Structures are given as C-alpha cells and as structure tokens.
Amino acid sequence: MKSLHVVADDGIKLHVGVTGDGPDVVMLSGGPGCGQYLEDESIAPLGMRAWYPEPRGVGRSDGSAHTMREAVADLEAIRRTLEIEAWIVLGHSWGSDLAVYYAVHHPKSVHGVIGVAGRGIQRDRTWSEAYHAGKHLEPNIPIAWDADVHAALNRDYVRWIHEPRLLRQLADCPVPTALIAAGLDIRPSWPLEQLAALLPRGSFQRVADVPHDFWATAPATWVDVITDACQLMGVS
C-alpha cells in the first residue's frame, strides 16, 4: 500500500492511499465521517488502480466538519493533482450517496458510479424505522469516525435531497450508475431500486446472503461483486 498527501483547494492536506494498476477507481467509505475502512489491497477491485481518500477532518486528513460540496471539491482536487481525466467512483453506504452527488455535479469527471448498500435519495420514516429496529442484528465492525463531520454531512444531505431540481438533475445525469444492495442489509433496498429506475443509465442488483458491511464479513464476495461492476463500466 502506497500513500500520499494531496493539497485541497483551500490548503488542507488530504491523505490518499493507492493500490494496484489499471483503470482508475476512487473508493469512498461511509458514515458519513468514517475513516477510510476500504483501504486494503486484499479487498480492492481486481485489475484496477484504486485510490483511497480519507475525508477531511477524519483520520490522517487535516480539516474539520464540511459540506457535501466541499467533499466533492476535495475529490476533484485529488483527481486533478493525480492528472486523472476521469475515474470510476465506487462508494459504500454513505459513500454511495456521495458518489451519486459527485456524478450529478461533475459528470465529465466520472466514468461511472458503483454504489454499494447506500441509503438512496430519501429521508423516509418507514425506512428509518426498519433500520433502527434491526440495528442490533448487524455485525459489530469497529470503524473510527468523527462525530462533527458525521453531523455536518448529514445536515447537508438533508438540504440536498430537498432541492427543488434534484429529481430533474438525476433524470438528466448521463453517468452509468450501478446500484447494489446487500441481501441481508437491515436497510430497505427500495430507494436504490427507485433511483436506478430514475437514472437514465441506472441499474440495480441484489447480492444474496450478505450483510451491509460485506467488505468485512464476506470479502471474497465483495471483491467479485465490485470487480464485475468495474468491468461492466467498460473502462480500459
């Protein structure tokens, strides 16, 4: 595993790890506000050069609480610094939702989106009730996170999903988007299915018999799923 620091547009130093060779994919961890838990060569997509940014204000990156727009500006600063014309954006959980936001606002920078076990574009009471009712059943996987970053990004997510033109922007987004649900996730998958149907180049699939964090509990399945998804994006 190699790592480097990239300076964001406002001078903040961001930690970025990298593994492998091949077409470029940037890996977004969840939370929001979690450390970069996907930074592990053994669970990287095969045949790809994978980049692992740590969110500002978390872990090895400097900074503090921020908005989704700032999070994406940091990704753009990393992409430009690395001289990558465009990359696949692969996000898990919250990272899936951020990946969709990124594609809507910077479609020319994104070859494709792969969103695994995301929440989707909603703040539905029944979805939240199902999540909280099943939360005690999830495997306990320790992940470092920052409470202030988490709160700030959650607030901005709510602001984003209330934007008047959001559905129009999603329906016009030209970026190929593969949304993937974990079959044993306590989070209902209907928002991902709806989003896949709304996006003009969206697709949906469900991976049976794996929980939300199957990157940790079923790593071989995780690698197979994300490798196949990257290959289907047709980037070489």
pLDDT score for 191: 98
Closest Cα to residue 139, out of 185, 97, 183? 185
Q: Dump pLDDT digits (tens) for 120-175.
A: 999 999 999 999 999 999 998 999 999 999 999 999 999 999 999 999 999 999 99
pLDDT confidence tier of residue 1, bands split at 50, 70 and 90? confident
236 pLDDT higher than 90: no
Say how far residue 29 (Cα) sits from the centre of its chain: 6
Domains in the chain and their CATH numbers?
2-232 (3.40.50.1820)
CA distance 20 to 84: 15
pLDDT confidence tier of residue 65, bands split at 50, 70 and 90? very high
End-to-end CA distance of the chain: give it in Å, rounded. Answer: 22
Residue 170: which residues within 8 A CB-CB, separation 6 or more?
A: 100, 104, 121, 195, 198, 199
Residue 220: which residues within 8 A CB-CB, separation 6 or more?
A: none
- Taking the alpha carbons of 18, 24, 75, 69 in that order, is the dihedral positive or negative? negative
DSSP state, residue 108: G
**pTM of model > 0.95:** yes
Q: Dump pLDDT digits (tens) for 176-216.
A: 999 999 999 999 999 999 999 999 999 999 999 999 999 99
pLDDT score for 235: 81
Closest Cα to residue 55, out of 81, 79, 27? 27
CA distance 184 to 209: 6
- Answer for the pair 98, 75: CB distance below 8 angstroms, yes or no: no
Phi-psi region of 63 (alpha: psi -120 to 50; beta: other; left: phi over 0): left
Name the 3-class secondary structure at 171: helix
pLDDT confidence tier of residue 234, bands split at 50, 70 and 90? confident
CA distance 49 to 25: 6
Hey, how many other C-beta atoms are within 10 angstroms of the C-beta on 205? Answer: 14
Helix axes 94-105, 68-81, angle to 10 degrees: 70
Name the 3-class secondary structure at 163: coil
